[in-house]
Structure 1
Amino acid sequence: MHISFRLTSRLLAGTALAIASFCAIAAQDVIRIGELNSYKAQPAFLGPYKNGMELALEQINAAGGVNGRKLELVIRDDNANPGDAVRAAQELLAREKVDVLTGTFLSHVGLAVADFAKHKKRFFLASEPLTDKIVWADGNRYTYRLRASTYMQVAMLIPEAVKMHKKRWAIVYPNYEYGQSAATTFKTLLKQAQPDVEFVAEQASPLGKIDAGNVVQALADAKPDALFNVLFATDLTKFVRAGSQRNFFEGLSAVSLLTGEPEYLDTLGNETPEGWVVTGYPWYAIDTPEHKAFLEAYRARFNDYPRLGTVVGYNAIKSLAAGIAKAGSTDTDALIEAFKGLEVDTPFGRIMYRGIDHQSTMGAYVGSLAIKDGHGVMTDFRYVDGASVQPDDAQVRAWRPDSAN
């Protein structure tokens, strides 16, 4: 009986060891990407974003993966809260054993995860948060950022604002890091380009909780000639509706961040404020080979049209795949070096990640809003390469303490 027991124990131990070895080998064949985002809080952007990630993942894996290894996504919701985001990132690393981190939408959440990555010494590709701090004042060697920053997109709009020849400007923005950063940058850059400009009204609204009627009234009381808008999602819809009802926009020139993105134009519909100059994504009219191929693949896979979030999600996975392939591994230090000067082919053309501040050159489209068949569209648009609106190396060194890394 003792011999039988010992034999059984050895067999069980051997089986357990075999299973563990098999799991270890299987894990080595998969690259696990830990992604966290505000899916419940920002579904209009992040539902299509997730689809974009999945499309890129499927294409890469169908082509053999990266360095012979398949990619796998492990996704968590950060509840649009910095504390929850950090806890989710910790879980992804400790429990899920992911190789890299990516994601985040809201700027203050992105900054929290970037700081977490710095302390944990793990690679983080911030896909969407726009705050300038993530690559400049609070930048760190472990964090890269994909999407065109607040500074870059504001800089795209400044020439259009100057062409309007307006002196009295009003500003409205969501009162958190992204909105505050955009407002400050706009005032700085417009003042440099047009020294006689005046900022006669400024309204900062709680994110997702705008009192649209009172905001419009406060802006109207200042009698501005032009408006700079930074609101998005439901805040934007409420603001536009209240402004239209009060005839606030009549004769008022406007430039606006993000408003040309289909995530927000789809909701505005026939209430779209015609004539606003915006950054956005006119997917229906981009006539380039790389975008046509992307659009065709996305429609075939999801029977839908892409949003800007789709492109960001797609580009994030493509960037990680390119970086891991160049590094030859998922080692953090190797990835940091691989991303310096990394070039990635995207639906917007080839982009590059700068070594000095870890910002990509992904650009955006700038055009005017119009209504066509009851839908908001961008007209007279052009693509602005992100490289053309980035600060020079000397300015980056002044803003970013570790820019030499």
Structure 2
Amino acid sequence: MAISSRLDTARVFTTVLLPTLAKGVIVRRPGVMAAAEKVQSDTRAIDTMRRLRDRYGPEPVRLRITGRSVAMLVDPTDVGRLLAGSPEPFALATKEKKAALKHFQPHGVLISEGPERDRLRRLNERALRPENVPAEAIVRDEADLLTRHVMSTGELTWESFNQAWWRIARRIVLGSGARADDRLTDDLKALRENANWAFLHPRQRGLRERFQRRLDGHLARREEGSLAAQPGDLSGQVPHWLFAFDAAGIVTLRALAIGARGMNGILESARLWPTTPVILRESTIATRWHGTWLPENTEFVVFTPFFHRDPDRLPFADRYAPELWDGPRDPAIVPFSAGPGECPGRDLVLTTAATMLDTLSEHLAFPTLSAPLPGTLNHFGLRIPAEPTGTRVS
């Protein structure tokens, strides 16, 4: 069995796990993201994972942690096996994930189990189909207003982009009646900030109840042309849909910064800078890996930046390579996860994000980052100069 030394375990914690947690797994922390960009923390983390694989070989590397079995995956084939084997024998609802997500979505599909998970998964898959909502029209409407603002200021910033993006998200999910309800998503952000601390932050029941009342008021309208009009009890699922739109916005602005276009451009942005940097699964039985048995309740950790940007395996690791999405891919390049736990809103997110990317690019010209692209890119600090392309905004 590959068991890391105490020194290597400390390296994994100090350069991989703790910086990832510090940046914010549920909602990003601007100050930490700025510091992480300065030191290129993800590049350091990838280097640590490369050394771990080189020293211990391809089997999962078990960290020396008292009272907990934690294994870091270092082989792409193992990542494919782990994700394909969810929820049995590799459960999605890990202890850490439950502790975090219960702050704002205690009834979400990600932390449900058994028949209830199957039911909620089906509900999410039905509701989140792109054809259920006119996402492209909504995006173009809001992108037109954002374009006018950028033309007047001469630059696109995270602040201006994010305001437009949340208007899009609220309209797609809840309808035009929620377009201006910043309070709803501000309350959700506060709950997500608590969720960053998982076990360590007490749950703010009053705040969550206030958020839920506000959300349920919008859902009660079941506004035509929004996801809220879909059948079923959506109340427990919508917090995660809104949560996912935050990550999609980050991916879209980063895509603009590298001159990306279309759905492949969005996928590349998510490959280069994964918004889910750590994928967790917990084994429900003892499992055999490369001839070695790992016990039940082992927590498996997939550090996605390593698998997405490993220069030893991927010749395109640090450049924009949209062509890779047109054919078979490495099983560990998983910007939307994979297997039964793959994001059910993948196609809707791609449609929304790609439309925003392409609509802005039709009317605005941006300078772009060149290869080699940075390992860590702080989206909060992006200030992208913009000029009109000459295409008239109607």
TM-score by length of 2: 0.30
* Higher RCO (Cα < 8 Å, 6 or more apart): 2
TM-score by length of 1: 0.30
More helix by percentage? 2
